[in-house]
Amino acid sequence: MKVLICDSISARAIERMRAACIDVDVKDKITPEELLVAIGEYDAMVVRSRTKVRKPVLDAATNLKVIVRGGVGVDNIDVDYAAAKGVKVLNTPGASTHSVAELTIAYLFALARPIAQATASMRDGLWEKSKFEGIELQGKVLGIIGMGRIGMAVAQRAAALGMLVLGYDSRTVGTVPFMHMVELEELIAKADFISLHIPLTESTHHLLDAEMLGKMKRGIRIVDCARGGVIDEDALYDAIVAGQVAGAALDVFENEPLTNRRLFELSQVIGSPHVGASTQEATARIGDEVADLLMTVNQESCE
């Protein structure tokens, strides 16, 4: 089996695959144009969030049998068209859970206590002690939209901090540890903080739009370490300017790499370039799971 690595994974994973007699080419800076030319000779490809696998790529991938997405979401892959072409799409849903959950918690703290803004002020030589009064997380209500692995991990950590955790997920019913499951309307109305952990689909695109933001408590703080596009970024900008939203922490954006930087003109917004899974530990786990999946596929194809 010949595999194209389009985005970076651990060197250990590549070594394991090569030791299993898989022919691996690493082109982790490949451009979309280069990918269209190269993909036809490969049986499998590995992507993370950078590489988009849409219809033109799949049409050019005449030998492709499997796509492995290192990470959780597969919205950068046209899964339905891949299935129609007989291409299997696999991912590594558990590998980055702890890393994304910990970044979410870090952002909750950074929204409660304006650490980034205070650091920027001090870099400018200022001592604006009275400007950076924060709030405590203890006793605040955290609303988590999306109760998959990462949402559950965030709930556990937030409950340990003394937060009251409310959760909503259209697919989850019944009792969930560390929290109370409620309807979306109740969560929106009661939360002091909201954290998003949902995939980007037709039904979740711009889930937090101007109407939804307007129904929240005035002074709400929002974290998105899930997928860009679930928040209407223009509506978020307007809500922050109007004082309805007190702050937002964003690791993901509707268009990546980020081109429209208007939100970052606001001091209430902090962010990062889609680094939720970018820890040494998650990178190692993702690589190991990618290698395991491809080694299994390779063995099955040889039987």
Catalytic residue positions, numbered? 227, 256, 274
Task: For residues 96 and 197, give the distance between their C-alpha atoms in angstroms, rounded to a whole number.
Answer: 13
* Contacts for 273-280: CB closer than 8 Å, 24+ residues apart: 274/49, 274/228, 275/103, 275/251, 276/96, 276/99, 276/100, 276/103, 276/104, 276/225, 276/251, 276/252, 277/48, 277/71, 277/72, 277/95, 277/96, 277/99, 277/100, 278/99, 279/99, 279/102
Q: What share of residues in the chain are helix, strand, coil (percent, to 5)?
A: 40, 20, 45
Q: How far is CA 286 from the centre of its chain?
A: 14
The 10 Å CB-count burial string (b at 16+, else e) for 17-40 is: beeeebebebeeebeeeebeebbe
Q: Three-state DSSP class for 95?
A: coil
Report the distance separating Cα 112 and Cα 46, nearest Å.
38
